[in-house]
Amino acid sequence: MVKHGIDVSKFQGVIDWQEVKKHIDFAIIRCGYGSDDENQDDPFFKRNADECTRLKIPFGVYLYSYATNEKEALLEANHVLRLVKDYQMAYPVYYDLEDNNTTGRQSNEMIGNIAQTFAQRLEQEGYYVGMYASLFWFRTKLTSPIFNEYTKWVARYNDELDYDGNYGMWQYSATGTVLGIDTMVDLNYAYEDFPAIIEEGGYNNFSNPNITRYKIGDEVEFHHVFLTSESTQPLMPYRHFGTITRIVQGARNPYLIGKDAGWVNDQVIEQRIRYLSAPDYTGTSFTDALRSIQEDTSFSNRSKLAKLNGIENYQGTQRQNDQLLELLKQGRLRS
């Protein structure tokens, strides 16, 4: 069954969501644009998301991208994560790719890498990601096979979309009117049952006890382990990170770490471990290298990085920093 929805941003002003609810099935809300800067948050995002939550209007979000490389895409992903962490969203997190002066000037291969970097960072935290662009962009710029891995939201203001690829939503008008909104608003059709997909899958801050969030091969950081998959007694591990090698669906502690380093569950896992990389840095300062990729350079963060990478008693010595810098240049620095 096709669902009817809108997408909104600060340009729709103060919305009477009580009235709007009578006329739509869902909403997609802009959370912001560009890198992780509070000045680039959409000033109406929190109000719109809070109102949709209060009134039980299914919603998703989108971020307008200006990314020109993978590093900027990662910052944009972090922008979304900061804003959506407290919301359950029954529709995807969309990456809005349409800026001709920034992203649009990159090669199609780079645009694919940008999109993949953004999506994988969101997916690491359990979010369901989609890609938004015009029909023209999907035909001419978003040609990487990467885009076939994500649901698509295609914009074309016409009686027919006329797109040969798979898609989940069609933005068919930019001049719609809905009671409760004083301006024109974008109108959309949704063809996939996103609430069922997302809620049953445990994405977007929904939880499903029968769905495991992590997979075999994931490297994770954790604060306790358990002796068995059903044990209730947490133990202090001899190290706080490891690789998931086995999953027992439905178990109290479904993930085995390594061969016999203990079992963990979603509650004791703090995060997936990602790897930092600065292959183009040519200096000799670990702090400057972190700064070059816009990572936290504080002593506490460097200590955390050191511990994750096998240095237990980090003092900030030249030898320790050289060791961490080499891992960073190789793209092997756990974070």
pLDDT in tens, 146-187: 999 899 999 999 999 999 999 999 999 999 999 999 999 999
The mean pLDDT of the chain is 93
pLDDT range class, residue 1, cuts 50, 70, 90:
confident
Q: Report the pLDDT value the prediction gives residue 126, as an integer from 0 to 100.
A: 84
How confident is the model over 44-72, as a mean pLDDT? Answer: 97
pLDDT range class, residue 310, cuts 50, 70, 90:
confident
Q: Report the pLDDT value the prediction gives residue 224, as an integer from 0 to 100.
A: 94
Global pTM value: 0.69
pLDDT range class, residue 202, cuts 50, 70, 90:
confident
Residue 211's CB is within 10 A of a number of other CB atoms, namely 14
How confident is the model over 71-97, as a mean pLDDT? Answer: 96
For every residue of 227-249, DSSP letters joined together read SSTT----B--SSSEEEEEEE-T
The answer to which of 3-17, 91-105, 231-245 has the lowest mean pLDDT is 231-245
Tokens representing 195?
């609430």
CA 181 to chain CA mean position, Å:
29
Q: Report the pLDDT value the prediction gives residue 209, as an integer from 0 to 100.
A: 66
- From CA 29, how far away is CA 7, in angstroms rounded? 6
Q: How many CA atoms lie within 13 A of 264 on its CB side?
A: 32
Which amino acid is it at 253?
N
pLDDT in tens, 110-135: 999 999 999 989 988 889 999 999 99
